[in-house]
Amino acid sequence: MGILNITPDSFSDGGRFLDPGAALAHAAELAEAGAGMLDLGAESTRPGAAPLDPEAEWDRLAPVLAHLRTEHPRLPLSVDTRHAAVAARALGAGASVLNDVTGFADPAMRDLARTTSCGLIAMRSRQVGEGFLMPPYGDEGTATAGQAIHELSATRDRLQAAGIEQGRILLDPGFGFGTTFLEDLALWEALPTLPERLGWPMDRLCIGISRKRFLAWRSGNPTLPPLQRDALTAAAHAEAASWGCRVFRTHVIG
């Protein structure tokens, strides 16, 4: 899944693709490189990002989504949103997958998911009001994956309780969303055990690790800028693929 950030403030490439023309050019590059799907996000969820009004989110998203449906009609499109109004309009405009970083915590998002046939990507995260809990990232705090795995299982249960079949759902462990480095490290090391611990197939996980600060910290170079983390991303993807993971959200294909 090629990531297309239509935002001024995403952590890795904020502002580069806010202009619809730049976004479409980058989408074409990702498609040419072999992306099996594009994931469009118009609200930044980086640490400290301010929540975005749904109307403003849709204004950023709509022109890019419309052009992509015309220029790449066979390429599946996912929309990264936590707002039901935006999600419904996106599905009407041709998106086939909803990617919700709050794990469909909003009942309106679950109702929309239940009454449509789209694919779903449900991520675990920790929220504080309208924003996300983002503790200082470092080697302090919990050093186990237990809490994160419990939260991921609650995300699974929430969707299944809404009557949504497993085959429509990808679960995203949510690296960096409310976790410290030690917790992320424990969660990464626990990935091979998730099928047994969650009762969930490995190929129904979505790995969102691309350019994350976790990779820089794990490499021993925590100050490495996001745009210089692509080699680390590729190595992590290969590692997860060796465990059976098959779906990756990534800024660079190949």
Give residue 154's pLDDT band: very low, low, confident or very high (50, 70, 90). very high
Average pLDDT over residues 72-93: 97
Q: What is the pLDDT of residues 21-34, one digit of tens each?
A: 888 999 999 999 99
Residue with tokens 């949510």: 174
Q: pLDDT value at position 221?
A: 98
Is the model more confident about 142 or about 155? 155
Please report the domains of the chain, with CATH numbers, ordered by start residue.
2-248 (3.20.20.20)
* Percent above pLDDT 90 for the chain: 83
Q: pLDDT value at position 113?
A: 98
Q: pLDDT value at position 48?
A: 66
Q: Which residues of 28-60 are buried (b: 16+ CB within 10 A; e: fewer)?
A: eebbeeebebbbbbbbbbbbebeebebeebbeb
**Integer CA distances (angstroms), 209 to 63, 172, 206, 239, 250, in order:** 28, 10, 9, 12, 8
> Across all residues in the chain, what is the average pLDDT?
93
Q: pLDDT value at position 45?
A: 78
Whether the CB-CB separation of 31 and 1 falls below 8 Å is answered with no
Dihedral pair phi/psi, residue 10, rounded to 5°: -70, 155
Cα–chain center distance at 127: 15
Minimal CA–CA distance to 62: which of 45, 85, 44?
85
Q: pLDDT value at position 14?
A: 63
Average pLDDT over residues 226-247: 97
